[in-house]
Amino acid sequence: MVDGRPVAPGRGLDGPRHRGDGGPAGGRPAGLAAPRATEHGVTRLTCLIPAWNEAARLPGVLRAALGHPLIDRLLVIDDGSTDGTPEVARRFGAEVLNMPANGGKTAALAAGIGALEGTHALLLDADLSGLTPHDITRLATPVLDGRAEVTLSLRGNAPRLWRALGVDYISGERVLPVALLKALAPDLPGLPRFGFEVFLNQAMRSQGLRVEIVAWPGVASPWKTEKQGMWSGFRGDAAMIRDILRCQSPRALLEQILWLRRQTARQNRTCSATAAVVSPTTSPSQMPTPSNPARNPSP
* Domain residue extents for the chain: 41-223+231-274
Burial class (CB in 10 A: 0-12, 13-18, 19+), 163: middle
Grouping H, G, I as helix, E, B as strand and the rest as coil, residue 198 is helix
Q: What pTM was computed for the model?
A: 0.77
Reported as a single tens digit per residue, the pLDDT across 68-91 is 999 999 999 999 999 999 999 999
Query: What is the residue-averaged pLDDT of the chain?
Result: 80
pLDDT tens figures, 89-104: 999 999 999 999 999 9
Q: In angstroms, how far is the first alpha carbon of the chain from the final one? A: 63
Q: How far is CA 187 from the centre of its chain?
A: 18
Contact 166, 153 (CB under 8 A): no
Phi and psi dihedrals of 65, rounded to 5? Answer: -95, -40
Contact 79, 99 (CB under 8 A): yes
pLDDT in tens, 107-132: 999 999 999 989 999 999 999 999 99
Cα(237)–Cα(31) distance, integer angstroms: 36
pLDDT confidence band for 7 (50 / 70 / 90):
very low
List alpha helices for the chain, DSSP H. Answer: 58-65, 85-91, 105-114, 133-144, 160-165, 178-184, 196-206, 224-228, 230-247, 250-277
The CATH number of the domain covering residues in 41-223+231-274: 3.90.550.10
pLDDT per position as a tens digit, 130-163: 999 999 999 999 999 999 999 999 999 988 888 9
Indicate the SS3 state at residue 180: helix
| Separation of alpha carbons 102 and 278, rounded Å | 52
- Containing 123, the helix (H) or strand (E) segment is strand 120-123
- Answer for the pair 116, 83: CB distance below 8 angstroms, yes or no: no
Vertex 113: Cα angle to 140 and 218 (nearest 5): 35
Alpha-carbon gap, residue 180 to 210, rounded angstroms: 13
| Residue bearing the bigger pLDDT, 13 or 217 | 217
Contact between 155 and 171 under an 8 Å Cβ cutoff? The reply is yes
List the helix and strand counts (H, then E) for the chain.
10, 9
Measured in degrees and rounded to the nearest 5, phi and psi for residue 155 equal -70, 155
